[in-house]
Amino acid sequence: MGSIAEMTLPRGGGRKLSLQVNRLVNYIRNPQNLISVISIILLLYLVALPLWEILSSTFQLQFRDAAKTGLPEGSLTLRYWSATFASSISKAMFYKPLMNSLLISLTVSVLGITIGGVLAWLVSRTDLPMKKFFSFILVVAYMVPSWCKALAWEVIFKNNRIGGYPGMFQAVFGISPPNWISYGFFPIVVTLSLHYFVFSFLLISSALASIGGDLEEMAEITGAKRGLILRKITFPLVIPAIPPSFILTFSKAIGSFGVPAFLGMKVNYYTLSTMIYANIRNRMTTQAFTLGIVLILVASFTVYLNQKAIGKRKSFTTIGGKSTRKNFIKLKKLKPVITLLVMAFVVFGVVLPLAVLVLQSVMLQPGVYSLDNLTLHFWIGEGNGAIADGEAGIFHNPRIWKALFNTLRLVTLVSLIATVAGVLLGYIISRGRKKLSGRFIEQISFTPMLIPSIAMSTIYLSMFSKPQLFIPVLYGTFALLVLISIVKYLPFAVRSGTSSMMQINTELEEAARIEGTPWVKSFVRLILPLAKGGVFSAFLLIFISGMKELALIMLLVTPETSTLTSLTYSYTESGYEQFSNAITTLIIFIIITVNFIARRVSKADISKGIGG
């Protein structure tokens, strides 16, 4: 950064100018510096500027209100903030949703880390049977979009309150579930926890794997009790994995949209994210921005507190490396019970939602559980006026084909570009840890993680609906979807890029440089091949996240650029759940297939991408 200050603030008079220019040219000639400069500008432009844009717009009188108040458009005003914080609607629009959001995210984080931690310990440290199967199926839980679990929940636990066809539970047992089970806090927390525990599971597993079992083994040999070992060795070793788990879970949960939308809005239970959405839908965009800013602040503050409380995230270096011989803790008598419990968890958390989804997609009338109600119309039916206002089944439906094409194009482009950017930025960061530019890039590329998806899309919606510097109006274009997704997934890509780069010793590069190899060549020929594993994993993780992304693109898609997920949401909203279910099944099928192929071909592993 010091060098940037030099560039922008020339010190001397004209005499020194040529010297300055020379220095600048030299600075830029170095590809590393060039990339630093370009990426700082881009990141400022794509991350910092948008934040500034919405912040400033909340203090400016908007067109709609200008006409009513008689003041000129754009004049300084506090009305949007006072409406949010201190007005008759603050409670309904801000305080209640905020409390709900916080409660949900905290509960989900605690539950997620507990479930994930216990499962991780069981799978990596004990003699639990069928480990391979469990670790595979538990990660599949993450591949099933979270809102799909919400849909499944609704199908099963829908109650009398909202009339219509009965839920599955009611159809089978004849009892209508109470409201708190069907809608609101409880089901939202359960479905989100069943989804986000995967973060903790993967991070804690990898923490456990990286330290091997020999420490515990030694303790056991010296006669320590199992409880003592857990308390004194296993927990402390796992602790560094908890802050990142918490950050990931909390920031994902507080920004999640689909689950609270499906399970909360019907009983007037709003979170900040659904309230933002509602405000935007009602054309109260500036009001939505104020909520978005609060959401970002809350997410950042929690991360900050969390870092404060647990200290800087550090990784343990355990001397001796991985142990080759694993000595598993015996579960003894509890083994069958625990195995059954884990199995039950898998069935309820992963298998059942999927089964419900597939079943729903072949039912003519939702909620009518008889054989003659089964149909393949929603899959292969031709358009027919009698069903769903003439929408054709998904294999005959041009809208869905287009959305499928859009989705694949989007996720492929995004995962490619983001991964490459992640590798480049990771390189800069790992080699420039001591420089301010490196740290700055690390910080700012991590920022999108703190911006909840729905808030981020409100920002981009506003920012790119007018020409920006050299960028034309991107509103309604496919490019905007690509852009926002790249920025949003950058933290994943950069993290994985950085950790791959950290593992590559600089001595290799130095050797290449002494040999006279140009930087670009040594990067492509030397560093990339070494970082291959991490790169593939990041690619895969972004691909999967992109396939099921809803909140991020919800506000930005148009009928032309609609994706599979946005179609799912609009079908659900207009009451054609079967189409949503069929499309969701298709999404999950694609995700699992891609994951399978990627693992076969490249040994890529999304758990590595998450940060393990």
Partner 1 sequence: MMKSKVLAVCLLGASVLLAFSGCSKKAEPSGPAAAEKELSWEDQVGLKDNLSAEELYGKAKEEKTVTVYSMSSRLNDVKETFEAQYPGVEVVVYDMRNSEILEKYQREHEAGIRTADLLFIKDSDGAVYNEFVKTGLLREFIPADMMKTAPADYQKGGYAPYFEMKQIFYNTEVYDSCPMDSWWDLTRPEYKGKIILRSPIENSEIMGLFLTMVKNGEDMAASYKKEFGKDIVLDGTENAGYEFLKRLSANDLIVMTSDTDIVEAVGAPGQKNPPFGIATSSKMRNAAKGLMINVAEYLSPRLGILDPAYIYVADGAEHVNAAKLFIRWMGGEADGSGPGFKPFHVRGSWPSRADVKPVETQELSTMNLWSVDMVYNYQHLDDLRNFWMTLQ
The one among 52, 136, 348, 589 contacting partner 1 by CB under 8 A: 52
Residue (212 or 383) nearer to partner 1, CB: 383
Q: How far apart are CA 592 and CA 544, in angstroms?
A: 9
- Residue with token string 């579930």: 177
**Encoding tokens for residue 283?**
């054309």
Which among 412, 353, 390 is positioned nearest to 563, based on CA atoms?
A: 412
- Nearest distance from C-beta of residue 155 to partner 1, angstroms: 14
Amino acid at position 550, single letter? L
Q: Is 30 in the site for partner 1 (CB under 8 A)?
A: no
First-residue to last-residue Cα distance in the chain: 30
Q: How far apart are CA 203 and CA 243, in angstroms?
A: 10
Of 178-237, binders to partner 1 (CB under 8 A) are none
Q: Is 53 in the site for partner 1 (CB under 8 A)?
A: yes
550: helix, strand or coil: coil
Q: Is 44 in the site for partner 1 (CB under 8 A)?
A: yes
Quick check: 256 and 273 in contact, CB under 8 A?
A: yes
The one among 106, 224, 265, 592 contacting partner 1 by CB under 8 A: 265
The one among 59, 81, 475, 519 contacting partner 1 by CB under 8 A: 475
- CA torsion sign for 436, 437, 443, 447 is positive
The one among 26, 56, 75, 412 contacting partner 1 by CB under 8 A: 56
What Å distances lie between residue 261 and 167, 390, 556, CA to CA?
Answer: 18, 27, 18
Q: Is 476 in the site for partner 1 (CB under 8 A)?
A: yes
Quick check: 509 and 472 in contact, CB under 8 A?
A: no
- Nearest distance from C-beta of residue 203 to partner 1, angstroms: 27
Residue (417 or 555) nearer to partner 1, CB: 555
- Nearest distance from C-beta of residue 66 to partner 1, angstroms: 8
Q: Is 162 in the site for partner 1 (CB under 8 A)?
A: yes
Query: Residues 579, 156, 375, CA angle at the centre, nearest 5°?
Result: 40
Residue (81 or 475) nearer to partner 1, CB: 475
* Binding pattern for the stretch 437-466 against partner 1, x by CB under 8 A and - elsewhere: ---x------------------------xx
Quick check: 464 and 474 in contact, CB under 8 A?
A: yes
- DSSP H helices, 503-527, are 506-515, 519-522
Q: Is 6 in the site for partner 1 (CB under 8 A)?
A: no
374: helix, strand or coil: strand
**Encoding tokens for residue 151?**
């849909």
- Residue with token string 């949703």: 97
Residue (466 or 603) nearer to partner 1, CB: 466
The one among 21, 337, 559, 603 contacting partner 1 by CB under 8 A: 559
Q: Is 69 in the site for partner 1 (CB under 8 A)?
A: no
Q: Is 282 in the site for partner 1 (CB under 8 A)?
A: yes
- Nearest distance from C-beta of residue 169 to partner 1, angstroms: 16
Q: Which stretch binds partner 1 (CB under 8 A): 207-215, 277-285, 354-362, 404-412?
A: 277-285
What Å distances lie between residue 84 and 58, 100, 290, 295, 525, CA to CA?
Answer: 11, 16, 7, 13, 55
The one among 22, 87, 114, 505 contacting partner 1 by CB under 8 A: 87
Residue (48 or 86) nearer to partner 1, CB: 48
Count of alpha carbons within 13 Å of 339, Cβ hemisphere only? 14
Residue (282 or 412) nearer to partner 1, CB: 282
Q: Is 281 in the site for partner 1 (CB under 8 A)?
A: yes
Count of alpha carbons within 13 Å of 343, Cβ hemisphere only? 9
Quick check: 121 and 342 in contact, CB under 8 A?
A: no
Q: Is 5 in the site for partner 1 (CB under 8 A)?
A: yes
Q: Is 161 in the site for partner 1 (CB under 8 A)?
A: yes
Q: What is the radius of gyration, based on Cα positions, of the chain? A: 26
Residue (336 or 472) nearer to partner 1, CB: 472
Residue (76 or 469) nearer to partner 1, CB: 469
Q: Is 573 in the site for partner 1 (CB under 8 A)?
A: yes
Environment class of 277 (CB within 10 Å of its CB; exposed 0-12, middle 13-18, buried 19+): buried
The one among 10, 129, 212, 367 contacting partner 1 by CB under 8 A: 367
State the residues that interact with partner 1 by CB under 8 A: 1, 4-5, 44-45, 48-49, 52-53, 56, 63-64, 67-68, 73, 87-89, 91-93, 160-165, 265-268, 278, 280-283, 285, 365, 367, 386, 389, 436, 440, 465-469, 473, 475-476, 558-560, 573-576
